[in-house]
A and B are shown apart, each in its own frame.
Chain A
Amino acid sequence: MVKVKNIHKHFGKLHVLDDVSLDVAKGEVVVIIGPSGSGKSTLLRCLNYLEPVQSGEIWIDGIRLDHHRTNIRAVRAEVGIVFQSFNLFPHLTVIKNVMLAPVVVRKRPESEVRKAALAMLAKVGLQDKVDAYPSQLSGGQQQRVAIARALAMQPKLMLFDEVTSALDPELVREVLDAMKQLARDGMTMLVVTHEMGFAREMADRVIFMDEGRIVEEGAAADIFDHPREQRTKEFLGKIL
């Protein structure tokens, strides 16, 4: 589903991604952990070209992500992304937020999209907030709308960029539950998070990144209980 080959990215002098390669199979849930500034969010954002890479190749479901705009948009339509700060459209109601892209980008008929959007919102437990505006919702509810909005495009891959980091502790669970449900439904997911409980429970594979490199990867149990690399041990020692 995802094939990343030797990508490099610099922000000025800073080498944010240093020869990163990665393969993700269909239906796999991959959790990326690491200290802040390790490049994990940047890697995620490169996968739908919100950030360009300077060298290397990225393939998403057989389409090469390069400078061709049509390719970029084709990939973005297939890849859903959920951000730390929700980024809902404040001038649109919940249902309109969810419906916008399928109607505008996919050109699907509005009645059909509406039906799908309502189902999607029910799935994340927000069927009674359909006509509310984002500002009337809690952070956890907003983030669940953001997940529904991404899902409404029927993506083949979902990217989660620290989606619980901006939430109050008591709101984190409802978002994680929605993500767990999605994982159980067989969605291919790449998740950048500090929620080690989620990683342990749901991840098929955990990747530890530091200083723009993939330091170590493996099954969740192996990474958390028997890390091989010194840097992984130090990081886990600090946060667990």
Chain B
Amino acid sequence: MPQYVQDRLNIYDAILLLQGLGNTVLLCVSGLGLGLVIALFVGLARASRSRFLSWPAAMYIEIIRDSPLLMQLYLIFFALPLMGLQVPIFAAGVATLMVNSSAFMAEIVRAGIQAVGKDQLEAARGLGMNYAQTMRHVVIPQAFRVMIPPGVGLLIGLIKDSSIISVISYIELTRVGQILTEKTFLSFQVFGIVAALYFLLCYPLSKLALHAERRLKVSG
């Protein structure tokens, strides 16, 4: 009896691909969004003159930056349950992206903050502004401009690296690609489409960054 092999992609496969795309977006928006928020605080701590803040921040950054993303995912998904903390698949994916991106982004935040001149701090202090007011109204808006190019580069890298989350069987874009090739053996078409969908996610981001950079430069 001949084994049945589906030899073309059908509408259900297309829907599955779109679901995968949607899940990748969901994963990245949550993981990288949370990572960005954490990065802001870790970056501020790292740039702080107080050792009690800057040393723990530096340690956090180094440990995460210098270990593989895949190991971080394994630790969160496979090791935490051994310590009694069961992490659902989606949460594990989000947490991994969050932790990983926060460390890299924190370094970018630190560099951005330190790129703002001392004269700006003195001007703000001379006007009676406190630390939080100075950061919020003077330093961070200027640091933001410096942070855009490396920050967007990092985000694009991480969106693509989110494909690693497929190894814990979260049905994101790459996992969908694997499922469809196993079913149809149409590796060329399926992975071609998957790659193109990643491109569709990342390319507008590059464009947006260029646009933002140009717009902010005019007002500099």
Contacts and interface: CB of A to CB of B under 8 A. Distances in A.
Contact of A91 (B122, B123, B133, B141): B141
Interface stretch (B19-27, B124-132, B166-174): B124-132
A153 interface: yes
Which of A100, A133, A149 lies at the interface centre, i.e. has the most chain B CB atoms within 10 A of its CB? A100
A227 to B, nearest CB: 33
Contacts of A133: 219-220
Nearest to A152: B127
Contact of B127 (A85, A105, A135): A105
B127 A50 contact: no
B127 A87 contact: no
A135 B123 contact: no
B145 interface: yes
Contact of A76 (B120, B127, B137, B138): B127
A83 B119 CA distance: 9
A90 B141 CA distance: 10
Given A90-B142, A91-B142, A135-B220, A81 B137 contact: no
Interface residues of B, number: 19
Contacts of A69: 130
Interface residues of A, number: 26
Interface string B132-150: 0100011001100100000
A30 interface: no
B129 A88 contact: no
Contacts of B220: 90-91, 133, 135
A87 B120 contact: yes
Contacts of A73: 128, 130
Closest 6 CB pairs of A and B: A77-B128, A87-B123, A101-B127, A76-B128, A81-B126, A87-B119
21 contacts: A50-B122, A50-B125, A69-B130, A74-B128, A76-B127, A85-B119, A87-B119, A87-B122, A89-B142, A90-B220, A91-B145, A91-B216, A91-B219, A100-B137, A100-B138, A104-B137, A105-B127, A133-B220, A135-B220, A153-B127, A153-B128
Interface of B: 119-120, 122-123, 125-130, 133, 137-138, 141-142, 145, 216, 219-220
Given A105-B128, A149-B127, 16 more contacts: A69-B130, A73-B128, A76-B126, A76-B127, A83-B119, A83-B122, A85-B119, A88-B123, A90-B220, A91-B141, A91-B142, A91-B220, A101-B127, A104-B137, A105-B127, A150-B126
